[in-house]
Chain A
């Protein structure tokens, strides 16, 4: 946790809240998120942020489904995420 910058933490919080609000307006997207899944926020325009975000869940138990929520312009695109070994 020590390596997380203030900017990364703040950006993640803002994007996560934005995603929750977007999801509420687009309930069809719930079909792409299984119950209990972990949603990882990434950003098309910021590779460094996205890599740091995915790095966090690499240590999560393998049994739970992980879904990447990728912000592309003003839209969110969801797809299952398969992680390579850390």
Chain B
């Protein structure tokens, strides 16, 4: 029996549906639910009101787990987008933004407005490439 995605229990033994956890004084992780099987996983590091790092990841519930499809983050060489496929294949594109506060907001907006196409692309590629 496959558990429902929103009753998944995280490592800390808490129900992760729409939860907000403060990891430290400057780091937050939280989810935004789009549908029962689509969500955005956010990681945000900030100094007061200034964002210094972020990760905004679109995830889809497939069979029995959440899988990453697209991620906007600021690791390594500056803001960029990851496009994921199964079997550990991915490519990246720069994600230009005027500052990281804007980048974090923009990334959420892009995913919210385009997640259906992102999901379709992911599923289509997974079938065609037999990954």
Question: Which residues of A come within 8 Å of B, CB atoms?
Answer: 1-2, 4, 6, 8-9, 12-13, 16-17, 19-21, 23-24, 27, 30, 33, 35-41, 53, 56-57, 59-61, 67
B81 & A16 in contact (Cβ 8 Å cutoff): yes
B64 at the A/B interface (Cβ < 8 Å)?
no
- Interchain Cβ contacts within 8 Å, total number: 80
Query: Which residues from chain B contact A9 at a C-beta distance below 8 Å?
Result: 96-98, 106
Which one of A17, A33, A57, A67 has the greatest number of beta carbons of chain B within 10 Å? A17
**Hey, what's the 0/1 contact readout for B75-104 against A, CB within 8 Å counting as 1?**
011111101000011111111111100000
A53 & B94 in contact (Cβ 8 Å cutoff): yes
A61 & B98 in contact (Cβ 8 Å cutoff): no
Looking at chain B's contact residues, the main secondary structure is mixed
B128 & A27 in contact (Cβ 8 Å cutoff): yes
Question: Which residues of B come within 8 Å of A, CB atoms?
Answer: 76-81, 83, 88-99, 106, 110, 114, 117-118, 120-121, 124-125, 128-129
Task: Report the Cα distance A57→B91, complex, angstroms.
Answer: 14
Task: Report the Cα distance A61→B94, complex, angstroms.
Answer: 13
A61 & B97 in contact (Cβ 8 Å cutoff): no
